[in-house]
Amino acid sequence: MKSYYIIALATMIGLSSCKNEKKDIKPIEVPFKKEGNLTLHKLVTDSIVATLDIEIADTDYDVQTGLMYRNSMKDNQGMLFVFPTVRQRYFYMKNTRIPLDLIYLDDEKKIVSFQENARPFNEEQLPSIVPAKYVLEVNAGLAEKWILEVGDRMEYTDNQKK
């Protein structure tokens, strides 16, 4: 019986000392992983507006996570969401630390609508307005800087698919 009390006392001391220890919890940071290239073209002139390194979100996990937990992204980087069907899309900025432009594209890879300057951590819906198959996320302000318009198009390569 005496050993039971010693074990119980040792456990309580151990637990109380754990409570007082300061734990260094580091925030999650997800690094950029280049999975393809994307080029944006103007509708009228077919001139190249921008060329980006992209991550491709085409699995349920990638689509749900998106650019969450990123502290920054370079202006020549973005994330392309690839969906199997064309329908109205709804995005939000939960756990997203950087402001973004969301560029919605149809199944012909033409821009159909925008949500510009989406605010970090905002959980309001950011709809595509019209049906879309692709969504490109880039740093906020780039859609305006590149003078993108509905009808402009993209081309991309997926380095994961051989």
Residue 8 confidence class, pLDDT cut points 50, 70, 90: very low
Q: Residue 118 in 3-state DSSP?
A: strand
C-alpha distance from residue 40 to each of 5, 19, 129, 136, 146 (Å): 72, 54, 21, 11, 9
Residue 25 CA to residue 102 CA, distance in Å, equals 31
Q: pTM for this structure? A: 0.82
Residue 107's contacts (CB-CB under 8 Å, 6 or more residues apart) are 86, 133
Average pLDDT (113-139) is 97
Q: What is the mean pLDDT of the chain?
A: 89
68 and 57 Cβ atoms separated by less than 8 Å: no
CA count, 13 A, side-chain hemisphere, 66 = 21
| pLDDT at residue 118 greater than cutoff 60 | yes
Residue 39 CA to residue 24 CA, distance in Å, equals 42
Q: What is the pLDDT of residues 10-68, one digit of tens each?
A: 555 555 555 556 667 666 778 899 999 999 999 999 999 999 999 999 999 999 999 99
Residue 6 confidence class, pLDDT cut points 50, 70, 90: very low
Average pLDDT (147-152) is 98
Domains by residue range for the chain, with CATH: 34-158 (2.60.120.1140)
**Which pairs from 53-61 meet CB under 8 Å and 24+ separation?**
53/77, 53/78, 54/78, 54/79, 54/80, 54/136, 54/156, 55/79, 55/80, 56/80, 56/82, 56/158, 56/160, 57/81, 57/82, 58/82
